[in-house]
């Protein structure tokens, strides 16, 4: 079995990255936060600028990595080094997604574990991770990674009308 590793996005990942974006969009989730008209090379460069804290625009400083198993993209993580008002409430420090064909294999757990190490390397000691309230699989991943439930935010308080869970990992 190949080992999962988190790595930066490369130019030769474009086809797999765009395919993953389409697959996850079918689940109501955006894999890569790339616009249909955004040139891939510019997207990769933008993610690197974001990691370095340059030209952030609406983004916060953060590290965006893909999860690679044996040369195949199985998922992605975004590790925010700091939080803006929205992320401090809803998004958290770490976001992850696993492509549907690669779920239920422990990839999300390993992605979260490696992301926590990276977040700590940027000085994030207390990590906020959120998931939709009905996403039982993600809640189990977060809890297995040490997440302690702060509260469930009701749909009425959520900006998108979906109840979600807020977890802290020390």
Phi-psi region of 83 (alpha: psi -120 to 50; beta: other; left: phi over 0): beta
Domain boundaries, given as residue ranges, for the chain: 4-123
Cα–Cα distance between 64 and 79 in angstroms, integer?
6
Report the pLDDT value the prediction gives residue 3, as an integer from 0 to 100: 94
CB contact burial 82-92 (16+ within 10 A = b; e otherwise): ebeeebebbbb
Domain 4-123 has CATH 1.10.3720.10: no
Q: What is the mean pLDDT of the chain?
A: 92
Cα–Cα distance between 79 and 65 in angstroms, integer?
8
Report the pLDDT value the prediction gives residue 69, as an integer from 0 to 100: 97
Cα–Cα distance between 158 and 161 in angstroms, integer?
5
Q: Residue range 1-29: average pLDDT?
A: 89
- What is 135-159 written as a DSSP string? -HHHHHHHHHTT-EEEEEEPGGGST
> How does residue 32 score in pLDDT terms, banded at 50, 70 and 90?
low
Question: Is residue 133 helix, strand or coil?
Answer: coil
- Each residue's pLDDT tens digit, 53-65: 887 877 789 999 9
Minimal CA–CA distance to 76: which of 162, 4, 163, 136?
Answer: 4
pLDDT surpasses 90 at 36: no
Q: Residue range 132-146: average pLDDT?
A: 96
pLDDT surpasses 60 at 87: yes
- Each residue's pLDDT tens digit, 113-134: 999 999 999 999 999 999 999 9
Least confident of 29-43, 57-71, 72-86, 146-160: 29-43
Q: The pTM is what?
A: 0.92
Question: Is residue 11 helix, strand or coil?
Answer: helix
């Amino acid at each position: 079995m190949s080992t999962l590793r988190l790595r930066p996005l490369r130019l030769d990942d474009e086809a797999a990255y765009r395919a993953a974006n389409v697959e996850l969009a079918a689940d109501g989730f955006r894999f890569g936060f790339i616009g249909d008209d955004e040139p891939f090379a510019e997207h990769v460069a933008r993610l690197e600028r974001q990691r370095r804290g340059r030209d952030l625009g609406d983004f916060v400083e953060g590290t965006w990595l893909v999860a690679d198993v044996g040369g195949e993209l199985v998922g992605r993580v975004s590790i925010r080094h700091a939080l803006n008002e929205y992320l401090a409430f809803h998004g958290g420090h770490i976001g992850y997604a696993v492509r549907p064909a690669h779920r239920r294999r422990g990839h999300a757990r390993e992605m979260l574990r490696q992301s926590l190490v990276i977040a700590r390397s940027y000085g994030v000691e207390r990590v906020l991770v959120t998931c939709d309230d009905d996403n039982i699989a993600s809640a189990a991943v977060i809890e297995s990674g040490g997440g302690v439930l702060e509260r469930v935010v009701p749909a009425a308080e959520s900006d998108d009308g979906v109840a979600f869970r807020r977890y802290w990992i020390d």
